[in-house]
Structure 1
Amino acid sequence: MPLTLGVIADDYTGASDLANTLSKEGVRTVQTIGVPDAALALPDADAVVVSLKSRSIPADEAVAQSLAAYAWLKERGASHILFKVCSTFDSTDEGNIGPVTDALRLATGAAIVPVTPAFPETGRTVYMGHLFVGDVPLNESPLKDHPLNPMTDSDLKRVLARQSAGRVGLVPLKDVAAGAAAVSARLEKLALEGRTAAIVDAVFDRDLEAVGIAAAALPLSTGASGLGLGLARALIADGRVLRRESDGAALAAGIGGYAAVVAGSCSKATLEQIAVAEGQMPVLRLSAERLVTHPEAEVAAALEWAKARLASGPVLIAASGAPEQVAEVQARFGRHAAGVAVEHGTAAISEGLVAAGVRRLVLAGGETSGASVDRLKIPAFLVGPEIAPGVPLLRTEGQPGEPMVLALKSGNFGGPDFFAKALGMMGVGY
């Protein structure tokens, strides 16, 4: 059966967030890790989310990977492509949101691309082209301190224009509030003016529904999971997708083994979650400096620590640190080197934990999740029930050996007790 919706996601946790949104809305969804191998058998689905790890790599590489994903999705009949980006629009002035959107626009033949990272359910709204987190602009919120892509400008028109080849317009809230027809009319007008992309305001879920209807009539859109919500509702409303409830009750059934959490995010939310977990399970805090200078020794010590405790219950290993600690390590070794060291170190720890018998694994942080899933060579997931807004329970598909259940958590997602809640849904008692 041809796909209705094809998604190209620029990181793994964001892909899980989007897959979770689609599944909750009744769209049968599969998430793949990278462009699937031709031999990989995937279950019937209305949407496939192709997860890339392209958010922070060189722009030309991100473009090449995204175009390969588009070719795979097009071959399978996807009628609309969503380029899924983070709801905080994490990106540098070199990309990668602009360059990938530009390349996909040319590939799909789209005249203009609607762009919005709005996701009111998680506190992300866009008004007059500015991205807000709660009631403050992005650049005044704690989310501005991304270790790889710090966001110091909330004006998304400016942000996107600095990294795009084309001109960027705006679909203001008054048009969005007037409905899908007004959004479509504004997009057509902007295209005639020579705009190739347009930031779209959205403050409430009903705004996303109007944007989704307008976007679904076009070949391409760029946005966060909120736009996925709008697209899902539009596709179901016009009959292109038959609503089907996901059966997540049995997702973790039959999966035993040990349980663990690996955290690499330095977000305020993850740091709070780690602090709460310290009263619930053994927690080991890694040295970011030693992950740079003595990575093999730091990883080996962490695994020995975990192996001595896994039989008694879940453990948490964290490379996370406060912004000032991260800044100090980055100043000594460089932003890129420090980031790569944490990614590689946490991925090696995840691999070692699985080798030690862990089959229920929670990963916190986009880069940590991406590097770990790559290291574990997991080709795809079945999307299960929601653990927290934006984070579903996932069961591995097509992986050699025993299946696993995982949670891939973006750094900023989840409440203070997220780790305990995730492990509980995996059937872990402690």
Structure 2
Amino acid sequence: MLIGAVADDITGATDLCLMLSREGMRTIQVIGVPGDDMEFSGADAVVVALKSRTIPASEAVDMSLASARVLLAAGAEQLIFKYCSTFDSTDAGNIGPVAEALQDLTGTPVTIACPSFPAAGRTVYKGHLFVGDRLLSESPLKDHPLTPMRDPDLVRVLQRQCSRPVGLVQADIISRGPEALKAAFAEQYATGKRILVVDTLTDADLRIIGKACAGMKLVTGGSGVAMGLPENFRQTKEFTPPAKTARMASPPGRAAILAGSCSAATRGQIEVAEAAGLPVLRLDIAAIAQGRQTAADLADWAIHSAGDQPPLIYSSAGPDELAKIQSVMGRHESGALVERTLADVALRLKDAGFSRFLIAGGETSGAIVEALGVKVLLIGPEIDPGVPWTRSISGPDLALALKSGNFGAKDFFLKAWDLLEMETEDA
């Protein structure tokens, strides 16, 4: 293993796996803290998917350290701490506390914070995070149900979470190339800075950053930061890129879409899917809480839905409606109820012969994958930037597309299925 990674949610882990795979590394995704006896032979990169983004910071640190120790013991030469390209967090963490703990574990004197993913419209300029052409604080992320992001200044956001000084490396330095960037890292370290937010506007910037991070034991950021890292190992190691495929074989069985994200992107995808004729049913959070709607009801509806189109069950709500729900039930309580319910639905559908699931929302994906008992995923073809199909190789045989709520084109729920090729029962 050359690169080991710890991701704070499952969709982000899948996104990172896709990036590493696209850059030529044989990559596997592990769900949850791996055991000491887990076998990683044949993998150039291993990404551990945790559900640690919104749990108490101390628990996130413990899970991340436990995962990192396994990866390092298995030979990982560089560690990535992966978080969301929109820096989803609170003033208490968990990005800062986990990054500092991993710095201590790896003995990394200075590391970077690089959430940018230009292909998905996430860029950083003068330390400020943009979503498309809007500041983070003016984007739909300001109304995220669990981690509303209302401060676009990443140095300021990260410093509130960290005990050690946070610095900034601006775009003009990155444009001068990797050697100038390395020198800037050293200069910032000399002034006492230990974690450096780096401006990033283009994929070319990410590749420069990757070269400058050669030999840096710990790198932190979004999936984009991994774009330039495999090339460093290609210069000194030999690894054989996996064969690229346009489509992925999937197990026989029916398909379903389960959406727990309230992002503007996912809400738009639901509207397009419904307009195209997909059978659609909304999960009513209040009715679930009062026992008037159950996971069994939702699963039964999907099982008996007519036609060949995958049924879509969703809980997504707009900001105003979501605020009303949260004012009654609580922010975390309402989200947890949705996750538990959709996880129960997925389990019932699996038992009824469903084998292909498209899941929207990081927390929802984590809850469903855990309920289904999936442990290891192979990465398949890319549907949209940051979202591939995957297939389970440990646990039940399933094809899974795990989509961050903010990712994907408007027709994502419609076109994703074209990349699957169903195996016959005797394949």
TM-score > 0.5 by shorter chain: yes
Greater Cα shift, 52-61 or 348-357? 348-357
Amino acid at match of 1:416: K
TM-score between both structures, scaled by the size of structure 2: 0.95
Alpha-carbon distance, 1:309 to partner: 1.6
Do the aligned residues in 2 keep the contact of 1:85 with 1:117 (CA within 8 Å)? yes
> Structure 1 76/41 Cα, relative in aligned 2: closer, same or farther at 3 Å?
closer
> Structure 1 137/247 Cα, relative in aligned 2: closer, same or farther at 3 Å?
same
Match of 1:233 in 2: 231
CA distance in 1, matches of 2:32, 2:238: 24
Pair 1:244 & 2:224 matched: no
- Which residue of 90, 96, 99 maps to 2:88? 90
Match of 2:425 in 1: none
1:136-175 alignment, distance < 5 Å: 136-175=134-173
Match of 1:327 in 2: 323
Cα distance per residue 1:360-380 (max 9 Å; x no partner): 110000011000001111001
- Which residue of 76, 82, 107 maps to 1:109? 107
Pair 1:423 & 2:423 matched: no
CA distance in 2, matches of 1:304, 1:346: 13
Amino acid at match of 1:318: Y
> Structure 1 385/422 Cα, relative in aligned 2: closer, same or farther at 3 Å?
same
Cα distance per residue 1:200-257 (max 9 Å; x no partner): 1111111111111122321001100110112133333x2335351444457325x110
Match of 2:13 in 1: 15
Match of 2:370 in 1: 374
Cα distance per residue 1:316-340 (max 9 Å; x no partner): 1001111111111001111111111
Do the aligned residues in 2 keep the contact of 1:83 with 1:223 (CA within 8 Å)? yes
Do the aligned residues in 2 keep the contact of 1:360 with 1:426 (CA within 8 Å)? no
CA distance in 1, matches of 2:247, 2:416: 15
- Which residue of 387, 390, 407 maps to 1:413? 407
Amino acid at match of 1:263: A
Alpha-carbon distance, 1:293 to partner: 3.3
Alpha-carbon distance, 1:280 to partner: 3.0
Cα distance per residue 1:81-108 (max 9 Å; x no partner): 0100000000000000000001000000
CA distance in 1, matches of 2:231, 2:261: 32
Cα distance per residue 1:287-321 (max 9 Å; x no partner): 022233338x4212111111112774411100111
> Structure 1 204/234 Cα, relative in aligned 2: closer, same or farther at 3 Å?
farther
Match of 1:179 in 2: 177
Match of 1:210 in 2: 208
Do the aligned residues in 2 keep the contact of 1:33 with 1:52 (CA within 8 Å)? yes
CA distance in 1, matches of 2:363, 2:111: 27
Amino acid at match of 1:107: L
Amino acid at match of 1:415: A
Give the 4+ runs in structure 1 shifted more than 3 A.
Answer: 37-43, 245-251, 310-313
Cα distance per residue 1:150-196 (max 9 Å; x no partner): 00000000000000111100111111111111111111111122111
Match of 1:316 in 2: 312
> Structure 1 209/390 Cα, relative in aligned 2: closer, same or farther at 3 Å?
same
Do the aligned residues in 2 keep the contact of 1:36 with 1:379 (CA within 8 Å)? no
Greater Cα shift, 242-251 or 121-130? 242-251
Pair 1:395 & 2:391 matched: yes
Do the aligned residues in 1 keep the contact of 2:380 with 2:390 (CA within 8 Å)? yes
Match of 2:356 in 1: 360
CA distance in 1, matches of 2:402, 2:350: 15
Secondary structure of the equivalent of 2:298? helix
Alpha-carbon distance, 1:37 to partner: 3.3
- Which residue of 248, 253, 257 maps to 1:257? 253
- Which residue of 369, 378, 382 maps to 1:386? 382
CA distance in 2, matches of 1:260, 1:226: 29
Do the aligned residues in 2 keep the contact of 1:139 with 1:153 (CA within 8 Å)? yes
Amino acid at match of 2:400: L
> CA RMSD, aligned part only?
1.6
Alpha-carbon distance, 1:144 to partner: 2.3
What percentage of residue pairs aligned between the two structures are identical? Answer: 47
CA distance in 2, matches of 1:221, 1:241: 22
TM-score between both structures, scaled by the size of structure 1: 0.94
Match of 1:132 in 2: 130
> Structure 1 215/221 Cα, relative in aligned 2: closer, same or farther at 3 Å?
same
Alpha-carbon distance, 1:133 to partner: 1.1
Match of 2:22 in 1: 24
Do the aligned residues in 2 keep the contact of 1:131 with 1:137 (CA within 8 Å)? yes
Do the aligned residues in 1 keep the contact of 2:13 with 2:47 (CA within 8 Å)? yes
Cα distance per residue 1:387-408 (max 9 Å; x no partner): 11000110101114xx111100
Amino acid at match of 2:42: D
Do the aligned residues in 1 keep the contact of 2:40 with 2:46 (CA within 8 Å)? no
Alignment: residue pair count: 421
Greater Cα shift, 320-329 or 8-17? 320-329
Secondary structure of the equivalent of 1:94? coil
User: 5+ unaligned residues in a row in structure 1: which ranges?
Assistant: none
> Structure 1 341/116 Cα, relative in aligned 2: closer, same or farther at 3 Å?
same
Amino acid at match of 2:167: G
Alpha-carbon distance, 1:349 to partner: 1.0
Do the aligned residues in 1 keep the contact of 2:248 with 2:421 (CA within 8 Å)? no
Secondary structure of the equivalent of 2:130? strand
CA distance in 2, matches of 1:353, 1:291: 18
CA distance in 2, matches of 1:42, 1:307: 37
Amino acid at match of 2:93: G
Do the aligned residues in 2 keep the contact of 1:40 with 1:398 (CA within 8 Å)? no
